[in-house]
Amino acid sequence: MKLDIKKHTVKTTAESKKEGKSKGLQFDFFSKFSNKDKEAFYREFAVLIKSGVDFNQSLQLLAAQQKSEKTKNILTTINKDVVAGSTLFDALQKHKTFSPYEYYSIKIGEETRKLADVLTELQRFFARKIKMKRQIVSVITYPAFVLGITFIVLYFMLNYIVPMFTSVFKQFGSELPAITKFVIRLSENFNTIMLVISGIVISIMVLHKLNKKNDRYRNILGEIILKIPFLGPFLKKIYVTQFCQSLSLLLSAKTPLITSLDLTKEMITFYPMQKAIQQVKFDILKGHTLSKSLEKHTIFPKKLVSLVSIGEQTNALDSMFSKLNDQYNDEIEHTTKMVGTILEPLIIIVIGALVGFILISMYTPMFDLSKVIG
């Protein structure tokens, strides 16, 4: 079935807000589905639809098994809208808990009569998203915990241990080594330094919150992030994976390429990727192929461009993006495991160096004093 591209053009943020007001949205107070909840929702919904259960019964069953009353109310409201004659797309669109990527994908599924397949792909999307988040959290948790302990140790040493040594050094009145003077000055100004650092961090957070919707700011921030060693390439790979997964889902549901790019741009929040996708869409409308359009942007790896070109030639873009998604997911999983393996000993070395530096700076004058007395 061929779909009308204009019919599926994604609305701008302003249009969506206007439409939301006109429909009288009243669900802002509902808590959002977590990724885990959504994964379970789409998985079970797909199973019920494939089994021949209608929307009404499916949504009733899904609502009944929810532990959260707010989530149950959302599903009940969706069910009422569907029973009243609304499409599932319209019913989901009323709730901010569902993203444009989700409800537009479901709209395509409804119109192509492949809703069960779309629901299954959405379930896989959130399953992979959960897995990726867990991997990143597992990598960050240990370093964050150890760094927190390190800060506590440094705070204790600089506020209590170093002043004790300082009072002893003042009694002898001898010239102190440069390293000891540095640590003593650091100890005396530690609270001021921490206040300044805290002020800078809070200021950055406030500025980010005020400007996070400004395209120029998002572009500059994105370009800076991409240039950070290791972090930039790692985040780039994560967003490229999301790009591949989104297009795999939408193209397999026979969504027009332009519409698929629009929906993918809505799903990805990283501005440099959004800007590149928008330019790719314009190039395709001018008559360029997808691979040639992607080739103009460095954010898309050469391997991706080459395989997309093959996919275009064989008319198998959806399966090619699916394979790319699997490859990049494997690479991300390997990278996160490698980072965790490297970070643990590295952090221990850094902590040891910091504590050792302070201890050496305090004991060096003591050793010099013992030589003089001896």
Q: Which residues contact 238 (CB under 8 A, 6 or more apart)?
A: 132, 332
What angle is formed at CA 350 by the lines to CA 349 and CA 352, rounded to 5 degrees?
65
> What is the pLDDT at residue 5?
37
- Placement of tokens 């790719």 in the chain: 280
Distance of alpha carbon 218 from alpha carbon 215, whole angstroms: 5
| pLDDT single digits (tens) 329-370 | 888 888 888 877 787 788 888 888 888 888 888 888 777 666
- With CA atoms as reference, report the closest residue to 130 among 37, 45, 246: 37
What are the structural domains, with CATH classification, of the chain? Answer: 6-98 (no CATH), 127-374 (1.20.81.30)
10 Å CB burial of residue 313 (0-12, 13-18, 19+) is exposed
Inter-residue contact 369 to 172 (CB < 8 Å): yes
> What is the pLDDT at residue 294?
94
pTM value? 0.71
Inter-residue contact 36 to 130 (CB < 8 Å): yes
Contacts 24+ apart (CB under 8 A), 338-347: 339/139, 340/138, 340/139, 340/142, 343/139, 343/142, 343/143, 344/142, 344/143, 347/142, 347/143, 347/146, 347/147
> Residue range 104-127: average pLDDT?
83
| pLDDT single digits (tens) 254-291 | 788 998 898 888 878 889 999 999 999 999 999 999 99
- With CA atoms as reference, report the closest residue to 40 among 28, 48, 30, 50: 48
pLDDT, averaged across the chain:
82
| pLDDT single digits (tens) 18-34 | 444 444 333 333 446 77
